[in-house]
Amino acid sequence: MTSQPARKTPGELLKERGQHAEDIVAVRSGGRIVDLHTPVDANAELTPIRASEAAGTQVLRHSAAHVMADAVQRLFPGTQVTIGPAIDSGFYYDFSRPDGKPFSDADLELIEAEMRKIIGSKKPFYREEVSREQAHQLFEGMGEKFKLEVLDAIPGNEAISLYRHGSPGRPEGTWVDLCEGPHVPTTGHIGAVKLLSVAGAYWRGDERNPMLQRIYGTAFPDEKALKEHLRLLEEARARDHRKLGKELELMMFHEWAPGMPFLLPNGAGIYNRLIEFVRSLYFDYGYEEVVTPQVFDRRLFETSGHIPNFIDGLYYPTTLELMKEHAGKPLGPGPADHPALAFGLKPMNCPSHCLMFGQRRRSYRELPWRVADFGRLHRFERAGVIHGLARVRSFCQDDAHIFCTQEQLEGETAAFTQLLFDVYRAFDLTNVSVKLALRPEKRMGTDAEWDHAENALERVLVNANVPFEKLPGEGAFYGPKLEFHVLDAIGRDWQLGTIQLDSQMPESFGLDYIGADGGGHRPVMLHRAVLGSLERFFAIYIEHVAGKFPVWLAPVQAALVTVSEKQAEYAERVRRELHAHGLRVTVDAGSDKLGAKIRNARLMRHPYVVVLGEKEAEASTVSVRSRDAGELGSMPLSAFTARISAEALAPKPGKTPAPVSQ
RNA sequence: GCUGGCGUAGCUCAACUGGCAGAGCACCUGUUUUGUAAACAGGUGGUUGGGGGUUCGAGUCCCCCCGCUAGCUCCA
């Protein structure tokens, strides 16, 4: 290796410039992140990156992945390494074990302990550039066939770099990996690490490839930051909607209907109030609601163009008559072409709405026509992807389709965006970001049509001054879309709303309307949902509020508890009074002690616990304890009724300010 | 669908290498009549997810299903 006098390492330069600090893990120079030990121009401009910055933490995690791979190969000789990147919340490394066995939790502890030794030794990382041949020889000699594949995939014009870190106890004294870098100055800069889980993962993410063993871990500059992260993970577990759904009796599942939730009275109440809320906004925004069939002749989905893309996702209800009639007949070219499978359970509402649009001659005066549908949908999701309420096989969306003219497109998209922000604010989801998903590889329509559609959506965002990010290849097969993402109370990102522009389906159904010119014109169709799947939104919302539903949604708004059984009569009077105001109330007048009754009510996260004892009965008062505001003391029943009635109203959104990205 | 893990009372979980299926909570009954997060006693409750096999003997070992779960892949 040659050293040129005009080049120095950033580490040296920072010292010369008086900028040196222990927690600097790399520098930004000319738009690139560089190690402290990789030489740069002696007069280069350098911005130090500290371990606690996002970019610095990523560098540190990538280094932690190397240290983990080192530890694994020490403890499990013969294990091959593949790739090991930093990810949002930590890092992972995929391994191939000669015996194909997975790592156990006990193994993770051993590996973590070994990592601590390597980190404690504070040995340097350094970069080395080699020729393709040298790299090839090196990894071939080590028997690392996955690394050879990675090497072969690196474009010919790119430099090949290796990273080594000092690895005490190894005969060669270092551990080496094919890697672009950058890395922290020494293993000691890694700070705090924790290995979290092990899981199978396909080589290169392709399910036809061999399954590798992936170990997930996370790393932070110090123990405090790690502890905070682990606390958040714990918090997420505590909020898990499947756990809360069971505890609060919101829903249940049964193996005779896998992936299909049963909403118990508590859950069904919330679910229906969500629908009612959206419905009330539909009135304000000029939507009309329809009811459509559940089972369709498959020709509907053939016409809509869904069959080739969707065939695996359909449920096929059939009849004894059909089965008898077609018993023993061969399958057609597609597995679902069997005549006994003539009917499908609808997986989406749009084709029904197209049939409705085409039912009679339409005029341009009727447009835009906004058709809302809370129809139940069924999709045969693969067994491994089902997850509580968040991913189910039977669900409903706050779905609507807008048939409009090209000219109305922008106004409709803007109005929808407004509606969407009204709804999100009502659910206290205020951190929203917008993405524009562009044409996927598998798609219908010509490139010219896609150009037109993509430009239209982009124009809406630009005109409305909404910040957005483009997602190439993420659009639906029939058109581009906007995605609306929110951050929940513990910082997780969820996609909720979407609006998708579609000129394919009106084409497929031959839809047209008579324009002012007396001629026929094809309408544009907008597929749009604010909350998306209501089941999934319910899951997200349960976790967002940690089961503490606001009064307007809560299954029980006030739990009345008596001090002794003697107040049963007064409790019944209070219950009737609140019930007459349309409030949802339970009474616990049993023989438990007061403390136990309060505990039970709090575990159910009811917004109010109302204590009724001798004093209250005599004075016609109630002693109120608020879930969110604490002890409110004694008040006349009428005062409590007024207070809770005001909170029990569904939010009535005004105009929500223009969307803001975080 | 793939790779691991798991499935025991309504819930949360025990049951050493194969050897009498248990606890707490919930529920029911009784006692207690309670003042802001768990009163006391007794009782009911199980073909250990389903089917097959090995064995004198299976919750435990083997095989096949089903479901759940962590990820991977997928999410039109």
3-state secondary structure of A330: coil
Contact A186/A26 with Cβ under 8 angstroms?
no
Residue A456's pLDDT band, with cuts at 50, 70 and 90, is confident
Contact A30/A54 with Cβ under 8 angstroms?
no
Phi, psi of A504 (to 5 degrees): -75, -45
pLDDT at A657 > cutoff 60: no
- Give alpha helix (H) positions in A441-545: 447-463, 504-508, 534-544
Contact A132/A151 with Cβ under 8 angstroms?
yes
pLDDT at A278 > cutoff 90: yes
DSSP assignment, residue A472?
T
pLDDT at A205 > cutoff 80: no
Contact A531/A496 with Cβ under 8 angstroms?
yes
A151 touches strand B (CB under 7 A): no
Non-local (6+) Cβ contacts of A515 within 8 A are: A364, A405, A521
Q: Which two tokens stand for residue A259?
A: 């992936």
C-alpha A122/C-alpha A62 separation (Å) is 16
Q: If you write DSSP's letter for every residue of A565-612 in order, what string do you get?
A: GGGHHHHHHHHHHHHHTT--EEEE-SSS-HHHHHHHHHHTT-SEEEEE
C-alpha A143/C-alpha A150 separation (Å) is 13
Q: CA A97 – C1' B44 distance (Å)?
A: 53
According to the model, what pLDDT value does residue A330 have?
66
A609 touches strand B (CB under 7 A): yes
Percent pLDDT > 90 in chain A is 47
Q: CA A375 – C1' B15 distance (Å)?
A: 49
C-alpha A81/C-alpha A73 separation (Å) is 8
Map tokens 């559609």 to a residue: A453
C-alpha A299/C-alpha A401 separation (Å) is 21
Provide the edge-to-edge strand list for the sheet that holds A32-34: A32-34, A24-29, A47-50
Query: Residue A439: left (phi > 0), alpha (psi -120 to 50), or beta?
Result: beta
Q: CA A315 – C1' B7 distance (Å)?
A: 28
Q: Which two tokens stand for residue A427?
A: 């659910």
Q: CA A569 – C1' B68 distance (Å)?
A: 46
Contact A181/A32 with Cβ under 8 angstroms?
no
According to the model, what pLDDT value does residue A286 have?
94
From the alpha carbon of A391, which nucleotide's C1' atom is closest? B75
Contact A295/A346 with Cβ under 8 angstroms?
yes
Exposure of A191 in the CB half-sphere (CA atoms within 13 A):
27
Residue A660's pLDDT band, with cuts at 50, 70 and 90, is very low
Chain B nucleotides covered by protein, CB below 7 Å: 1-4, 7, 11-12, 26, 31-39, 66-76
Q: Which residue has the higher pLDDT, A446 or A367?
A: A367
Strand locations in A488-537 (E): 493-502, 513-514, 520-521, 524-533
Q: CA A48 – C1' B46 distance (Å)?
A: 65
Contact A571/A554 with Cβ under 8 angstroms?
no
Of A634, A636, A648, nearest to A606 (Cα)?
A648
**Is A130 exposed, middle or buried, given 0-12, 13-18 or 19+ CB atoms closer than 10 A?**
middle
A483 touches strand B (CB under 7 A): no
According to the model, what pLDDT value does residue A510 have?
95
Of A38, A36, A16, nearest to A189 (Cα)?
A36
A382 touches strand B (CB under 7 A): yes
**Is A54 exposed, middle or buried, given 0-12, 13-18 or 19+ CB atoms closer than 10 A?**
exposed
From the alpha carbon of A306, which nucleotide's C1' atom is closest? B76
Chain-centre distance of CA A579, in angstroms? 38
Q: What is the pTM of this model?
A: 0.90
Q: Which residue has the higher pLDDT, A22 or A177?
A: A177
Burial code of A56-88, b = ≥16 C-beta within 10 A, e = fewer? bbbbbbbbbbbbbbbbbbbebeebbbbbbebee
A242 touches strand B (CB under 7 A): yes
Q: CA A238 – C1' B21 distance (Å)?
A: 31
pLDDT at A319 > cutoff 90: no
Model pLDDT for residues A358-414, shown as the tens digit of each residue: 999 999 999 999 999 999 999 999 988 999 999 999 999 999 999 999 889 888 998
Q: Which two tokens stand for residue A597?
A: 């009754």
In sequence order, the β-bridge partners of residue A216 are A92, A197
3-state secondary structure of A527: strand
According to the model, what pLDDT value does residue A87 have?
85
Q: If you write DSSP's letter for every residue of A342-366 in order, what string do you get?
A: -EEE-S-SHHHHHHHHTTS-EEGGG
According to the model, what pLDDT value does residue A260 have?
95
A478 touches strand B (CB under 7 A): yes
Q: CA A572 – C1' B35 distance (Å)?
A: 19
Q: What residue type is assigned to position A616 of the chain?
A: E
Task: List the catalytic residues of A.
Answer: 350, 379, 397, 399, 401, 481, 527
Non-local (6+) Cβ contacts of A228 within 8 A are: none
pLDDT at A22 > cutoff 60: yes
Chain-centre distance of CA A309, in angstroms? 23
A477 touches strand B (CB under 7 A): yes
Of A185, A37, A22, A217, nearest to A116 (Cα)?
A217
A591 touches strand B (CB under 7 A): yes
Of A357, A332, A341, nearest to A296 (Cα)?
A341
A604 touches strand B (CB under 7 A): no
Helix (H) or strand (E) holding A625: strand A621-626
Q: What is the distance between the terminal CA atoms of chain A, rounded to a whole angstrom? A: 46
Distance (Å) of CA A639 to CA A557, A563, A632: 16, 21, 12
Model pLDDT for residues A131-184, shown as the tens digit of each residue: 888 888 898 888 888 888 888 888 877 888 889 898 887 888 889 988 887 899
Count of residues for chain A?
Answer: 662
Residue A309's pLDDT band, with cuts at 50, 70 and 90, is confident
Of A468, A531, A461, nearest to A495 (Cα)?
A531
Residue nearest to nucleotide B50 (CA to C1'): A255
Provide the edge-to-edge strand list for the sheet that holds A125-130: A125-130, A160-166, A174-178
Q: Which residue has the higher pLDDT, A52 or A352?
A: A352
C-alpha A621/C-alpha A637 separation (Å) is 5
